[in-house]
Chains A and B, each alone.
Chain A
Amino acid sequence: MAMARVGAVAVLAVVAWTSPAAAEIESAPVITDRTRATLVAGEGTLVPGEDLRIGLRLQLKPGWHTYWRNPGDSGEPAAVTLHVVGSDVKGPDVWPMPERIDMAGIVSYGFHGDVVLITTVPSSAALTAKPALQIEAEASWLVCEKVCVPETGRFTLSLPAGSTAPPRPTTTLTPLSQVPPVPKAVFARTGQGWSLRIRTSSLDVPDDSVVEAYFFPERGDLIDHSAPQALRRQGGEIVLDMTPAQVATDPPSELRGVLSITGRRQDGKQATLRVDLVAQPASEGR
């Protein structure tokens, strides 16, 4: 998953977080009244020289939700510790695009339904040194509906090492990457808050067709998650004006997060894109 970091923005196509393909390896489940939790890996994803992605899969009962890396105004993100070849790897570090969950005006960022939260294990020779890789894990997560319930689980998974590198089947754990020109995004602190400007000319959704946009920042102390974000369109770019959080913070050196943008594509269809942004501070005079 390549992300350009300097003065540019990385774009990932929407990852299809549908039910896992049949070719997935799943641990024994941890089951509660609300949740069926497993550790999952895509078959054929243990390939020499490549990072390994292990998912915490949470299948939640209708009405229940869990939280994104920035949970918004309430809640708490899941935490995973993988024990792999004698090391601990903490995650998750790769998350689906969240939803805004509005409870009487208080907004959290999270997920309903069936969600897979990924922890990336950096590649090393040790991963494929043996015919099978044993992974143990502990995880904790919070599920809420009208009440909140913290849950935990322990999992084990055994992955066969790939002897060759077969064509990788696409599973829920393989983000699809596209390589369009990368849009630029800059941010600035204005009198009223944070202003985020994104050049949309290279996205598949031209700025004059954008009907809705929302920015989910990774940091939880920057914006007021419960306030609306005002959208403007101006000549090849969109601007989101966001209310600041009450907590005073030093201005960040970059603004990382996920932009959800809904508009009409070139083919005439309305679509919602996920755009992973690393916005840079606006330079003077812009």
Chain B
Amino acid sequence: MASSALFTRRTSLLVLGGAASSLALPGIVFAKPQVSAAAPAFSGVGSDGKPYKLADYRGKTVVLEWTNHECPYVGKHYRSGNMQALQKDAAAGGVVWLSVISSMPDSQGYVSAAQANDLTKARNAVPAAVLLDADGIIGRAYDARVTPTMAVIDAKGTLIYIGGIDSIRSTDLADVPKATPYVKDALRQHAAGQPIAQPVTQAYGCTIKYKPTA
């Protein structure tokens, strides 16, 4: 039984003749940030009304955490206290933690600045700032597709980690202590001057509710 929803508007390219020339895929919506290369620059506004840009943080390690407080996968890490603990450890180590909300207006996870500040207090979160990215520019620059997605940038502005927060794709709080804590490990290894064992992992979670591109 064919499903009419099977193929999206971005249907496959059809190249007749079977020429084995180099592949020309249609324009991909997301940038492809590469670990060990320069992290994509960004500038945005925090829920405190202040401007934030990556260049401000040369000399510091930066963590980007895509969040959506209504997503049960984010909920797992906040209700368990896991995310807040990571934020606290980061702050203690001089790492700048920026939460990013890339949901478009009126979508799941979208909040006003005031609501974002209330949320931070209510869930005892301690990011350095919450960036309001309702146009999805920062999210798309980092190819963030779900919440939670995490990126770590070193003091030289190089992307050193991108992917999920940990290894178990579930909404079950009991899985937090069982999972491999990718971001915790990456920060620890980096602080110790060691290479990051798993610098790219698969993120799991709820789709980020981006503003559709044209």
Chain B contacts of A16 at CB under 8 A?
Answer: 1
**Beta-carbon contacts under 8 Å, A104-135 to B:** 104-108, 112
Q: Is B211 within 8 A of A104, CB to CB?
A: yes
Q: Is A73 within 8 A of B70, CB to CB?
A: no
Chain A contacts of B202 at CB under 8 A?
Answer: 220-221, 245, 247
Check A156 for interface membership: any CB of B closer than 8 A: no
Check A161 for interface membership: any CB of B closer than 8 A: no
Chain B contacts of A232 at CB under 8 A?
Answer: 14-15, 18-19
For the complex, give the distance between the alpha carbons of A16 and B3 in Å: 11
Task: Give per-residue flags for B188-214: 1 if the beta carbon is below 8 A from chain A beta carbons, else 0.
Answer: 000000000000111011111111110
Chain B contacts of A106 at CB under 8 A?
Answer: 145-146, 207-208, 210
Quick check: which of A48-56, A85-93, A144-152, A198-206 contacts chain B, the rest being far away?
A144-152
Partner of B206, one of A148, A212, A228: A148
Quick check: which of B28-36, B38-46, B50-58, B90-98 contacts chain A, the rest being far away?
B28-36
Q: Is B162 within 8 A of A246, CB to CB?
A: yes
Size bracket of the A interface: 35 or more
Q: Is B14 within 8 A of A147, CB to CB?
A: no
CB distance from A259 to the nearest CB of B (A): 12
CB distance from B198 to the nearest CB of A (A): 9
Q: Is B11 within 8 A of A99, CB to CB?
A: no
For the complex, give the distance between the alpha carbons of A212 and B107 in Å: 33
Chain A contacts of B146 at CB under 8 A?
Answer: 73-74, 106
Q: Is B207 within 8 A of A76, CB to CB?
A: no
Given the known inter-chain contacts A99-B5, A229-B12, please indicate yes or no for A247 contacting B163, CB distance below 8 A: yes
Q: Is B30 within 8 A of A226, CB to CB?
A: yes
Q: Is A230 within 8 A of B25, CB to CB?
A: yes
Check A260 for interface membership: any CB of B closer than 8 A: yes
Task: Give per-residue flags for A227-261: 1 if the beta carbon is below 8 A from chain B beta carbons, else 0.
Answer: 11111111100011101011110000000000010
Partner of A228, one of B3, B12, B143, B211: B12
CB distance from B56 to the nearest CB of A (A): 27
CB distance from A236 to the nearest CB of B (A): 10
Q: Nearest chain-B residue to A273 (Cβ)?
A: B2
Chain A contacts of B12 at CB under 8 A?
Answer: 212-214, 228-231, 240
For the complex, give the distance between the alpha carbons of A226 and B206 in Å: 15
Check B59 for interface membership: any CB of A closer than 8 A: no
Chain A contacts of B162 at CB under 8 A?
Answer: 246
Given the known inter-chain contacts A76-B204, A234-B18, please indicate yes or no for A102 contacting B71, CB distance below 8 A: no
Q: Is B28 within 8 A of A212, CB to CB?
A: no
Check B170 for interface membership: any CB of A closer than 8 A: yes
Q: Is B200 within 8 A of A74, CB to CB?
A: no
Q: Nearest chain-A residue to B34 (Cβ)?
A: A246
Partner of B70, one of A74, A103, A147, A211: A147
For the complex, give the distance between the alpha carbons of A232 and B171 in Å: 40
A-B contacts, 13 of them at CB < 8 A, read: A100-B6, A101-B5, A104-B209, A105-B29, A147-B70, A148-B206, A190-B23, A211-B14, A212-B12, A231-B12, A246-B32, A247-B163, A262-B2
- Residues of A at the B interface (CB closer than 8 Å) are 14, 16-18, 73-76, 97, 99-108, 112, 142, 144, 146-150, 190, 192-193, 211-214, 220-221, 226-235, 239-241, 243, 245-248, 260, 262, 271-272
Given contacts A73-B145, A74-B206, A230-B23, 16 further A-B contacts (CB under 8 A): A18-B1, A75-B206, A100-B7, A104-B211, A105-B213, A106-B207, A108-B207, A214-B6, A228-B10, A231-B13, A231-B14, A232-B14, A241-B23, A243-B25, A245-B202, A247-B200
